[in-house]
A = this chain, B = another copy of it.
Amino acid sequence: MDNIGLIGMVSIIMAGLTIAVGSIAPAIGEGHAVTQALKSIAQQPDEANTISRTLFVGLAMIESTAIYCFVISMILLFANPFWTMVVG
Contacts and interface: CB of A to CB of B under 8 A. Distances in A.
Q: How many copies does the complex hold?
A: 14
B66 A66 contact: no
Nearest to A29: B31
Contacts of A50: 41, 45, 48
Contacts of A21: 20-21, 24
Contact of A8 (B7, B37, B72): B7
A40 to B, nearest CB: 4
Interface string A6-28: 11111111111111111111111
- Most interface-central of A5, A38, A58 (chain B CB within 10 A): A38
Contacts of A1: 1, 3, 6
Nearest to A80: B12
Contact of A42 (B32, B43, B58, B68): B43
